[in-house]
A and B are shown apart, each in its own frame.
Chain A
Amino acid sequence: MIWKQLLSIMIQHWRFVTTSQSSGISTIFPMPMLLQSVLWTQMLEMENSALRFRQSCGSMLMPKGGLHFVVPNVEGSMAERGAHVFSCGYQNSTRFWFPCVDSYSELCTWKLEYTVDAAMVAVSNGDLVETVYTHDMRKKTFHYMLTIPTAASNISLAIGPFEILVDPYMHEVTHFCLPQLLPLLKHTTSYLHEVFEFYEEILTCRYPYSCFKTVFIDEAYVEVAAYASMSIFSTNLLHSAMIIDETPLTRRCLAQALAQQFFGCFISRMSWSDEWVLKGISGYIYGLWMKKTFGVNEYRHWIKQELDQIVAYELKTGGVLLHPIFGGGKEKDNPASHLHFSIKHPHTLSWEYYTMFQCKAHLVMRLIENRISMEFMLQVFNKLLSLASTASSQKFQSHMWSQMLVSTSGFLKSISNVSGKDIQPLIKQWVDQSSVVKFYGSFAFNRKRNVLELEIKQDYTSPGTQKYVGPLKVTVQELDGSFNHTLQIEENSLKHDIPCHSKSRRNKKKKIPLMNGEEVDMDLSAMDADSPLLWIRIDPDMSVLRKVEFEQADFMWQYQLRYERDVVAQEEAILALEKFPTPASRLALTDILEQEQCFYRVRMMACFCLAKIANSMVSTWTGPPAMKSLFTRMFCCKSCPNIVKTNNFMNFQSYFLQKTMPVAMALLRDVHNLCPKEVLTFILDLIKYNDNRKNKFSDNYYRAELIDALANSVTPAVSVNNEVRTLDNLNPDVRLILEEITRFLNMEKLLPSYRHTITVSCLKAIRVLQKNGHVPSDPALFKSYAEYGHFVDIRIAALEAVVDYTKVDRSYEELQWLLTMVQNDPVPYVRHKILEMLTKNPPFTKNMESPLCNEALVDQLWKLMNSGTSHDWRLRCGAVDLYFTLFGLSRPSCLPLPELGLVLNLKEKKAVLNPTIIPESVANNQEPVISANNGQSMGFQSTEDDHPIKETATSISSHQQGVKRKADMPLGSPLEPGQILEKNEDSKVKLKIRFSNSQEEEEVDMDTVHDSQAFIYHHLNMLERPSTPGKEQSSGEINMHPVSATPLSIFSKESNSSKHSDHHHHHHHEHKKKKKKHKHKHKHKHKHDNKEKDKEPFGFSNSPASGRSIRSPSLSD
């Protein structure tokens, strides 16, 4: 065959091999692999606006996904226009732009050639060997060679008229940016070499590739994308030296990208379920970099933030599973039944879930570090890296390349080898199992015994929670010092007695030692005379993924805020103090605000807390509005306190505080629940007297926040019987605000600010004014700003306003406009973002009556998630999320009832009432019922849990009683199960078979079904997949062999006797209704949320998308 011939030529030229083949390459290679071998020559050329992509084995025009083309619509040649193209995608998406085995576990070496217009630069992986003109001298060919074995998924490409900057510190690092941005690029990347140094030092390992390239491109898919030896960044990360706020963010992105070079690109993963190791390690070392660069406070703050995020997400959705195990080939247990998507493949994950997944991964790495010490941790990393780099220099035949892939088991093994510690329980708790821990703590002090009686309860029944058993650190600050206690949390013990060290004493004036050895004077008058306890902290080191709700007296929180040096403790105290609006809290917060040694983020947080407290105590509040005098003292002129000093942002801490305080102040409300006039005037004065002429830094973020402050000060308009909002009845305060917004927005057109921060704030403020009824609600303005061609930040802000409008005004037109944009917008990020915003702020939800909820919308969304989006996983999963938010798992209430009342459940062998027709009133109930029946009751319900399966499963009639049928479809008397089949006199019935968990859906001619045992076998096999261990045995275990041999009649018979109802069902159709059926088929589908089937775009089970191709080492092991 021609393939063989080609291949042999290939191998002569240079080695092309993959890990799992040892002999007989040409015979074992599957088709795609051959293609991969053939396809090391790619030519890309630009012709008019269409970029043509040519390969030695064929050509393709404008791939829909995988590559993104940015072609500005201006005069000039492609290079002058700044047209560029880059590869993008989420997880393995390389196959979209050239045929390959798109798996992270299939490694090979690469030779890449790109022929491009002479004015363009092609940046790709590996070393640029040479650049050669074509014969007509109008094009250049870039030859790249990547000798380190790399998975196709880590191959990338960026072509454009880039400006080239060789890093002045490291000449093997090259930066690329779009024309005119070179000055920004110089500044932005001037820091990168320090990141390099840091990583190389802690990992005691040189950067694995011989070169590194950063490319900054427009319309980026994600801000940071790491590929072998190159990273693709959004061009919006570039900034000049005048920008403060963007600098740390951009540096973080750079550091993140570089961390992924080591773990993610150089070291790849065995299979999808090992992804957490890579994300975890890269996130963890990135965290170490943060600690070193931004300090421990920032690091701890970040950890706290990430922890809060993951905890909130898991409690909301029911858990994030890092290392899903899919019970071998059988896949009978679905570990993520609480989710509306499958976590079996990276491409079916909701984007939010994936973000949280990464977040949890690095937090778990930190937990491991806590356990085995950082030294060992770094040794493990070093070991992984050095094994990999030894392997990478080996020839393929030595079978060493698998060392470059990391697997969970391999990782754990090397941990135990290096540290000698057993971390299995930890792994079991956080990696093999989803969900987090929720503690409730309270205490009492027993004076007689001088003992602290601590009670720690756990909530492990709500979704997303698990039971924690093991050690838990508690820190008690007493008068005599700070003491750590390690409590053993066990099954039944709630109470823990902790002996106190100090007697309460009031008279002795003595300094009080803190945790860090510091000794401070405290005013102890506030505390309880009988108790020596100042404050108590549960799990201060965040060594459990948990949420702690701890009760202690307000003065204890105040002491904690003032004297505890840990920023996390301070933040917790601030949060707790919101519930104690007293003068003492006010004082504590003001003190913190003024204290310059205090971490600026804590001070910023204190601002908002102070505003809340002030609002709660509005009737007793004395003195000027909160923070006003403080702000005046810190930032205003001595001689004229109403005028702010000219800007000088040299001190970043006070800059951030100066930015935040007005925003928080604007949240103040007086007794009439209006923003005090004084505050508004104050903010307007800040705007008026703002003077940045002598400042070294740009004040665009500051001005933007002042507009945010104006928006915050807006309160709902007093509306007299729904009059139309006109200019005449405009509130005078609002008039002033509007005046400022207008001026700012117009000035932006003439003197645009960096990233148009001011426009963004103005748009948000206008939406606030609209929402509060001061200005007529109208999306036209936002729609014009949302058009393609505006800066992406502006577009997102405008779209957010439109989304909000859609919700508030229930406008079908705008919803359609948004959905059209989701389908047609040229920028993938914007498309994704619209869906995300719609999901976050949905126009209606599943339990809500809404005029927007109609059949067309259901169809539209259904279409969006099932066709046309196969090239963009993120978008499709976004559509799925939105669908779930709008309609839930049940049949959308706006759809007409299906014709068939009863369905046959193949799995349970019985007919049941079609669960899709249970109307909304029961819909709430329905979900749990289904999952209970399925034995998958993990996530959603706790109440239903104790229902004996029998009860829920028994009677169809009970279901039917709950059914309120729509008038036009009276069901009549309850059908006997089995009746349906009798009705089908004709044996040639079309059966629509639906399997809840596999989402397989096929029209089957029953004749063939009769004969085809294999068919039934196949489907039963699929049915097996979804259950959860534990619950499954009673209901689901199907003895497949007998069943597979059973003719259909048995189904009906069995269905009578079966005690288990299920929502697996068959739809019976008349032929004539078939057409209509098709439509319904669609609508049912969503109910069963697993999308395995449609997530496999190429429809073969060993698709690269699955992350576990047949020859994947994970299986061969």
Chain B
Amino acid sequence: MMLVPQQSLPGRGHVGQSRAGSRMDGVRGKRAQQRSCGKYATTPADNYYLARRRTLQVVVSSLLTEAGFESAEKAAVETLTEMLQSYVSEIGRSAKSYCEHTARTQPTLSDIVVTLVEMGFNVDTLPAYAKRSQRMVITAPPVTNQPVTPKALTAGQNKPHPSHIPSHFPEFPDPHTYIKTPTYREPVSDYQVLREKAASQRRDVERALTRFMAKTGETQSLFKDDVSTFPLIAARPFTIPYLTALLPSELEMQQMEETDSSEQDDQTDTENLPLHMSTDDSGTEKENASVLQQNTSLSGSRNGEENMIDNPYLRPVKKPKIRRKK
């Protein structure tokens, strides 16, 4: 970047054009930006940053003029602006670090100096440079207010800090974010509505499910011309048809368990219901057992006796005798 001045020396007067052009570009670019970023909706904050950057560009341009350039390519100006911006930002960031390092919130001059030193800049040259004769003075950028972050919708009043919290601490958030306001809506107790609701809900679920299954799998249809209105899931033969036909489905077993448990509850204590429910999920073993709920007592007693039962089918299989002779 430092090489630019020598190269572009011959072409003075070009800078002016360039500047005008760049300004034009800037305007046009901004418009274009506005247009193209229409959906981004240029916020006040964006405007703020753009204005700063424009000022930097002017600075770079004037420095270039000072150095004797007449014109500069836009890309070069942009690059220089970028470098300048990062340099200034780095100074600021570093200075802030130093200030915070010393437990202050506001950077002082010495912070800046240390920073500059740290960055390898010879501070002593600075006053001289500032007082050079050919320096160009540019007008201060128009004071634009730091954009205010739009306030979220406030609901209610923020709670003031209690006395033991220093005031510089952040404010409480809006009350609605942490205050619980339980609402009591009257539950629907009308039997008819409940039944109606349960029925239609179940029906909807079933319909959706079966439609889904029908859509994803093979189907049969009653009408040749229309396969979608009444899709029937295609009949698929089972390898062992009696199992599905005879064994109660999981749903039924679950249901049975529920009715069983609720029956027990009725007998014992209705208040235990939630507690009971939680213990209910104790695995599949119980599920199987419940199928035979009626027989459990019976088979239980059997298990006890099993050792005594003399049934030929329970006897161990004998080892073959050694053949006497061939």
Contacts and interface: CB of A to CB of B under 8 A. Distances in A.
Given A743-B210, A750-B210, A790-B237, 11 more contacts: A74-B240, A128-B313, A166-B314, A181-B246, A183-B292, A241-B293, A695-B255, A746-B213, A747-B206, A754-B248, A780-B220
Contacts of A692: 255
B238 A766 contact: no
Interface in A1072-1091: none
Contacts of A519: none
Interface stretch (A31-39, A231-239, A658-666): A231-239
A523 B123 CA distance: 128
B203 A688 contact: yes
Contact of B246 (A82, A174, A235): A235
A186 B298 CA distance: 10
A791 B249 contact: no
Given A186-B292, A726-B223, A72 B240 contact: yes
B229 interface: yes
B121 interface: no
Contacts of B247: 180-181, 184, 240
A693 B255 contact: yes
A752 interface: yes
Contacts of A754: 245-246, 248
B311 A172 contact: yes
B63 interface: no
Given A694-B262, A752-B245, A790-B241, A640 B191 contact: yes
Contacts of A242: 248, 252, 256
Q: Which 6 A-B pairs have the closest CB atoms?
A: A789-B237, A746-B210, A128-B312, A640-B192, A168-B302, A791-B245
A129 interface: yes
A754 B321 CA distance: 48
B253 to A, nearest CB: 9
A742 B195 contact: no
B294 to A, nearest CB: 5
B317 interface: yes
B199 A688 contact: yes
B122 to A, nearest CB: 83
Contacts of B207: 743
B233 A746 contact: yes
B238 A241 contact: no
Contact of A742 (B231, B260, B317): B231
A74 B206 CA distance: 31
Nearest to A766: B222
B317 A133 contact: yes
Interface size class of B (residues with CB under 8 A): 35 or more
| Size class of the contact patch on chain A | 35 or more
Interface string B310-323: 11111101111101
Interface in B216-233: 220, 222-226, 229-233
14 contacts: A130-B312, A130-B318, A131-B317, A171-B310, A174-B311, A183-B288, A183-B292, A190-B294, A240-B248, A242-B256, A640-B191, A746-B214, A749-B210, A789-B241
A241 B292 contact: yes
B299 A164 contact: no
A508 B242 CA distance: 65
Nearest to A75: B239
A784 interface: yes
A239 B241 contact: no
A738 interface: yes
B220 A691 contact: no
B235 interface: yes
A164 B309 CA distance: 13
Given A168-B298, A239-B246, A749-B233, A689 B195 contact: yes
Contacts, number: 209
Contacts of B198: 691
Nearest to B225: A726
A698 B252 contact: yes
B258 interface: yes
Contacts of A166: 302, 309, 311, 313-314
Interface in B174-219: 191-192, 195-196, 198-200, 203, 206-207, 209-210, 213-214
B299 to A, nearest CB: 6
Interface of B: 191-192, 195-196, 198-200, 203, 206-207, 209-210, 213-214, 220, 222-226, 229-249, 251-252, 255-256, 258-260, 262-263, 288, 291-295, 298-299, 301-302, 309-315, 317-321, 323
A586 interface: no
Contacts of B320: 132-135, 137
A756 B195 contact: no
Nearest to A176: B313
Contacts of A172: 311
A751 B251 contact: yes
Contacts of A363: none
Nearest to B301: A168
Contacts of B244: 752, 756, 791
Contacts of A180: 243, 247
Nearest to A692: B255
A183 B206 contact: no
A82 B318 contact: no
A637 interface: yes
Contacts of B234: 784
Q: Which of B234, B249, B312, B321 has the most CB of A within 10 A?
A: B312
B313 A73 contact: no
Interface in A58-95: 72-74, 82
A693 B258 contact: yes
A168 B303 CA distance: 9
A698 B237 contact: no
The listed residue with most A CB atoms (<10 A of its CB), out of B236, B237, B249, is B237
A787 interface: yes
Contacts of A164: 313-314
Nearest to A123: B313
Contacts of A218: 240, 242
B223 A727 contact: yes
Contacts of B319: 132-133
Contact of B191 (A639, A746, A789, A791): A639
Contacts of B321: 132
Interface string A770-795: 00000110101100110111111100
B193 to A, nearest CB: 9
A178 interface: yes
A639 B196 CA distance: 13
Contacts of B222: 738, 766, 769, 775-776, 778, 781
B313 A792 contact: no
Interface string A457-500: 00000000000000000000000000000000000000000000
Contacts of B191: 637, 639-640
A190 B297 CA distance: 12
Contacts of A769: 222
B259 to A, nearest CB: 5
Contacts of B302: 166, 168
B318 A643 contact: no
B292 A187 contact: yes
Contacts of B313: 121, 128, 164, 166, 174
A785 B288 CA distance: 31
A639 B194 CA distance: 13
A112 interface: no
A639 to B, nearest CB: 6
A184 B246 contact: yes
A207 to B, nearest CB: 16
A994 B297 CA distance: 70
A102 interface: no
Contacts of A750: 209-210, 213
B227 to A, nearest CB: 10
A236 B242 contact: yes
A776 B255 CA distance: 39
B65 to A, nearest CB: 82
Interface in A422-464: none
Contacts of A72: 239-240
A333 interface: no
